[in-house]
Amino acid sequence: MTVSGLRVLVTHERFFPDFAGGCEYGVYSLARGLESRGAQVRVLTTGNPEQKEYGGLKTLRMPMHRYRMNLAASRIAEQARDADLIQTANYHAALPSFLAGRRLNIPVVLLVTALCGDAWLEMRGPVAGRAYSAWERFLMRRPFSRIVFPSDHALQLGLDMGIRRDRCVMIPPGIELQKFCPALNRAPRAPVLFVGKFERRKGIYDILETARALPEIPFRMLGWGPEEQNLRQAAPPNVAIETVPQGDVMEAGGEAQLPPAFAGASIFFLPSRAESFGLVVVEAMASGCAIVSSVPLDYEGAHVRPGDIASMVHAIRRLWQDPQQLARMSQRNVETASRYSWDRFTSELLDTYQQILGRQLSREECHA
């Protein structure tokens, strides 16, 4: 499907090269996918106003803290006057985009890039955590034209918040499959690998406790983030911690450290406390890793409960001691990961736009 006349304003609190995690990667991939199909895409975000494009995408950056984007409804409405649709993502661009869409009477689609629910209580404490959880619930219950969830479990969490089912659609995101493939000669005792942001939500201290119970197994943690120093101080001797520059993480691992790290691992470990999808899990699957994770995706390995150290220890020990089983899981995970593509995501997103706009999105109509 080509949509050369479709005009989309994409809003998000950050946009490449400003980067904090997978949310920015998802929004960038969405915008790039729309543009590749011929849509006219503009991005409204925060940051340095002198940076007017990234990766060929036109950007308008407001010089403000990302929290203040919640107050930017008028600015969003101004930029969306000639748009057919506003595409936003949670958190801080979502409410002002919704209000701008109401003002202009145009559709607003929300992409769910993160959804924490009750995990806010652990991440932020009982007082602030309740406030964050209440704000998330309020935001998700606004009557967006559609809310795009990345997985069935994220969709169910949204429904549990009281979102109407007819406003929801589940579209799995993609990965850049050409960047991730298994190593030809993987070491039989390769370290158990974690890749991600060094923050409590990712279960990083559960990794340390698991590693402490398995001193004979090496662990490798690659990432960046606010807990790095504390993590280094608390790590047992069998855990190697490596900083990954954020520029290497952008665009699904870039060309530097991450793809070789995935390819060289046999087990990928992500005991996250809250994850709406977990792109890094699919990247590890495409690289031939067995998965031990709390993320409820379809993979070979072991599903564990957040915080259940005993089950994590048992799962990793069992897999580590069975290289033949690891090899079988590797092949099946590679096959499963091949289903996740940004091309498929873009096609399904455009189908959703077509339903909302109530007309066929085609080159012929757009040029009529």
Backbone angles phi, psi at 77, to 5 degrees: -60, -40
DSSP H or E segment with residue 86: strand 85-89
Q: For domain 7-174+341-367, give the CATH number.
A: 3.40.50.2000
Q: Which SS3 state, helix, strand or coil, does residue 290 take?
A: strand
The CA distance from 367 to 356, in Å, is 20
Please indicate whether the domains covering 7-174+341-367 and 177-337 agree at the CATH topology level: yes
- Could you tell me which residues come within 8 angstroms of residue 150 by beta carbon, excluding any fewer than 6 positions away? 26, 112, 113, 170, 171, 172, 173, 276, 277
Backbone angles phi, psi at 127, to 5 degrees: -85, -60
Q: Which two tokens stand for residue 43?
A: 């991005």
Q: How many CB atoms lie within 10 A of CB 221?
A: 27
Q: Which two tokens stand for residue 271?
A: 């005991």
Nearest-5° Cα angle at 344, 339 to 349: 135
What's the pLDDT at 188? 66
Which pTM was predicted? 0.89
What's the pLDDT at 2? 60
Name the β-bridge partners of 10: 43, 87
Nearest CA to 257 among 267, 249, 265, 269? 249
Omega into 17 within 30° of 0, i.e. cis? yes
The CA distance from 241 to 130, in Å, is 32
The CA distance from 286 to 269, in Å, is 15
Domain ranges of the chain: 7-174+341-367, 177-337
What's the pLDDT at 366? 35
Cα dihedral 244, 248, 252, 257 in deg (nearest 10) = -60
> Left (φ > 0), alpha (ψ -120 to 50) or beta: where does 268 sit?
beta
What's the pLDDT at 29? 94
One-letter amino acid of 257: Q
Nearest-5° Cα angle at 140, 337 to 174: 15
**Domain 177-337 class?**
alpha beta
Show pLDDT as tens, one digit a residue, over the chain (368 residues): 567 689 999 999 999 999 877 789 899 999 999 999 999 999 999 999 999 999 999 999 999 999 999 999 999 999 999 999 999 998 899 999 999 999 999 999 999 998 887 777 877 788 888 888 899 999 999 999 999 999 999 999 999 999 999 999 999 999 988 888 887 776 667 899 999 989 888 999 999 999 999 999 999 999 988 899 999 999 999 999 999 876 555 544 444 678 889 988 999 999 998 888 889 999 999 999 999 999 999 999 999 999 999 999 999 999 999 999 998 999 999 999 999 999 999 999 999 999 999 855 554 333 33
